[in-house]
Structure 1
């Protein structure tokens, strides 16, 4: 595989220098880095628009207080994870989540994922970090993995050119994203996308999902067929590019 995904997170704050940020990043290991080229100790007037474009519209968690903090930030830090192999995807994604929470507890005001185009509110990021930590303490691998799905996967993006709704962010968890036709009600399409995503990330099937297999929302519900297709809507150097491709859920004509 020529291109490996990586986490790029944008963290807003009011730091006078990046010493606190660099210390937090160092606790993750020397394979995480502060991007010195793009990080800045001055406000970025584009951030309100950027967070508006990235917020989870199905379950918005950015509060009025969060928006005020986004508007009044004075520093922007970009953090890079190491390239993410499939085998290390959940481990690196967990470390990135916990780093985001650490930074929010050390002067950070807001966080968004550049790699999934996803922004949660401050309280939601901290809640996700807490849920992940509790799940790992209890050896609840299913809940821990599901938490990473909710943290890093943006769902139901509308692609009008292909008449589909699709997810972004599964590449950060070493899996294919999901897409489905946009003729469905948005809430129904979202159920299909989440079921497939959580099946891959949290349920962890014993064997790969195969092209042509059937998939159902419910035992007696309608059946869709899985078609494995490449990611051709993004260039390979795009943050959203998924080298594993997509699982397209198509109507069963049989």
Structure 2
């Protein structure tokens, strides 16, 4: 798709002015420099747009809402005391682009940033954890950083468009929302890590002997006009497959089959 979706990262910080931010980025020697309103990675030439704003009273509550796993931490208290907010904007739509954006945000964390909120997914991470994720990108940690799972009548992923991939949706057959979220986590990680050629009607199972799901094309969730959550690549809906006992013993595992 030529018109790749935007990936936007929000980084609150202690910087009193744009000039102080520029100086902090320079002093931390993370391999980035300012070039006008762009942040430039010296080694690769990657650039993303930088928007510097003053303190925003809505930011702390927004971080708590999508970062409940660290809401009570000292790091979250630091977010409440932020002096400014920086937004990094670039194109997603591929693993390479998404990881480049993550590294750019890590440079700002290294320069004093207090956390990272993924505006195009709806999740926030503390500074130390973000740094850890970016140091381990070779272990496919971008999937953990940029994808979330929403539970309701349906359980669905949000954030796969950052990699240029469809979302996944399932209606829990037994009402177990956590099990459904774990299923989608495994399935979307498989899409991210292996890049399989998937077609309507293929089947998927997380392991040998586990329930089998028929994969069907479906529209992605509609979050409304201009939402950064919208996925232009659509979605895969996983539908439970009823199998005979003999079929269940045939060696189902966590790969797709025709």
* Range into which the TM-score falls when normalised by the shorter chain: 0.7 to 0.9
How many Å apart are 1:121 and its aligned residue?
A: 1.5
1:47 to 27, 37, 59: 59
TM-score by length of 2: 0.80
Summarize deviations over 1:196-234 as a string: whole Å, max 9, x none: 1111111222xx211111111211111111111112422
Q: Which runs of structure 2 are paired with 1:100-179 in the superposition (5 Å)?
A: 100-132=105-137, 135=138, 143=139, 146-155=140-149, 157-158=150-151, 160=152, 163-179=153-169
Structure 2 residue runs of 5 or longer lacking an equivalent are 26-32, 244-258
In the superposition, relative to structure 1, how do residues 105 and 232 fare at CA in structure 2: closer, same or farther (>3 Å)? closer
8 Å CA contact retained: 1:69, 1:110 = no
Structure 1 residue runs of 5 or longer lacking an equivalent are 136-142
Q: Which runs of structure 2 are paired with 1:1-254 in the superposition (5 Å)?
A: 1=1, 4-19=4-19, 20=21, 23=33, 26-28=39-41, 29=45, 31-35=47-51, 39-41=52-54, 43-55=55-67, 60-61=69-70, 64-81=73-90, 83-85=91-93, 89-132=94-137, 135=138, 143=139, 146-155=140-149, 157-158=150-151, 160=152, 163-182=153-172, 183-205=174-196, 208-235=197-224, 237-253=226-242
Query: Helix, strand or coil: the match of 2:16?
Result: coil
Matched residues in 2 for 1:232 and 1:126: separation?
30
May I ask how many residue pairs the two structures share in their alignment?
A: 226
Matched residues in 1 for 2:127 and 2:221: separation?
33
Root mean square deviation of aligned Cα: 2.1
Matched residues in 2 for 1:169 and 1:63: separation?
25
Matched residues in 1 for 2:92 and 2:7: separation?
8
Summarize deviations over 1:164-222 as a string: whole Å, max 9, x none: 111111000111111111444233112211111111111222xx211111111211111
Query: Helix, strand or coil: the match of 1:73?
Result: coil
TM-score by length of 1: 0.81
8 Å CA contact retained: 2:64, 2:71 = no
Higher alpha-carbon Rg: 2
Q: Which residue pairs with 1:139 in the alignment?
A: none
Matched residues in 2 for 1:236 and 1:213: separation?
32
8 Å CA contact retained: 2:64, 2:76 = no
8 Å CA contact retained: 2:103, 2:134 = yes
Matched residues in 2 for 1:190 and 1:31: separation?
34
8 Å CA contact retained: 1:3, 1:236 = no
Greater than 6 Å deviation, 4+ residue runs:
none
How many Å apart are 1:236 and its aligned residue?
A: 5.1
Summarize deviations over 1:61-95 as a string: whole Å, max 9, x none: 455111111110010111101x334xxx1111111
8 Å CA contact retained: 2:119, 2:228 = yes
Matched residues in 2 for 1:217 and 1:245: separation?
22
